[in-house]
Structure 1
């Protein structure tokens, strides 16, 4: 596997977190999928479902307030995870509530497995993240597709926007470029339609 999660020590976040939650540890991991766009995972280990139920919203608010600031890229903000690892099984309703909460970042709730190493939680967390988020346990090396890739058939408008090389992100410059392209394309279409009449 060419991409893996690595521990990323964030002293500022760690200090803020330990002030608010002195009995818990927070780990930050990153996987560099492409330059300037890491996949981030913040992991918090909990001993009981009761403690998780009482603290998960506060933990989510704290982590998001101190880590997902405006200096992060759009990719990084949308590809950040908060992972809760619990020693015991948790009620399905709580797991559902946590994993379906849309505030700030994606969330996963995972029960510790039998091969979890409490002496080296960082190593156990990296293995877990590599499997759950990067799918490291799936081997596609022997897979061969008999189907040749079929390039999509683009309309005149599709080809036009591809030729313009306009990015499809949410940056103001890209939004403005798309709006200008739409304006010009509609004007051109109206002109063509009036010439046909």
Structure 2
């Protein structure tokens, strides 16, 4: 999945905050629709509640018009500031759960203001593009094949699930036995 720029729906933001540079990136996957707004502030000390007003505008003018539930809950706002903001404000912004998820980025260098680097950072944060998945070999697992799993499933059916002392001890013994088998070479 990739995010592509689509600034056709952001006039409501640029009209309200003309000094802030807004961009909108959306996923190219119709089944997993993601929208990410980027707001780059030119002022090193922006209005403290500007992020809250931007969030509200996105919720009312953009989010409310979406019909897909998945798309409605997968909206992100990246706020890019020209220098670090206070830890308290950053925490307040990023932990706010109203309407969409928010991220705070700091452009310590001019290069972060370039859309490619901002987009790469956001893709890493949202899509996990920096994650590398490697298949595990069956030899590295403590059990090979599915016979061990089948044995676990079939043996747990006979274990009582009530809260009697005897049942609790039986479950503990069974778990201990399974753990010892897994840890053996």
- Fold agreement, TM-score > 0.5: yes
Which residue of 1 is the match for residue 182 of structure 2?
none
Shift of 1:125: 2.6
Shift of 1:36: 3.6
Q: Structure 1 residue runs of 4+, over 4 Å off? A: 147-151
Which residue of 2 is the match for residue 4 of structure 1?
2
Find 1:137's aligned residue among 123, 130, 136.
130
Contact 1:6 1:126 (C-alpha < 8 Å) held by counterparts: no
Distance 1:77 1:89 in 2: 30
Which residue of 1 is the match for residue 118 of structure 2?
125
1:1-197 equivalences in 2 (<5 Å): 3-10=1-8, 13-32=9-28, 34-48=29-43, 50-51=45-46, 53-112=48-107, 114=109, 116=111, 118=113, 121-140=114-133, 142-144=134-136, 146=138, 147=141
Distance 1:133 1:144 in 2: 25
Distance 2:92 2:12 in 1: 25
Q: Deviations over 1:18-46 (max 9, x none)?
A: 211111121111123x4343111111011
Shift of 1:90: 1.0
TM (norm. structure 2) is 0.67
Q: Helix, strand or coil for the counterpart of 1:129?
A: helix
- Structure 2, gaps ≥5 residues long: 154-185
Root mean square deviation, CA, Å: 2.7
Contact 1:46 1:84 (C-alpha < 8 Å) held by counterparts: yes
Distance 2:112 2:66 in 1: 35
Distance 2:106 2:39 in 1: 12
Q: Which has the larger radius of gyration?
A: 2
TM (norm. structure 1) is 0.63
Distance 1:15 1:31 in 2: 20
- Structure 1, gaps ≥5 residues long: 154-197
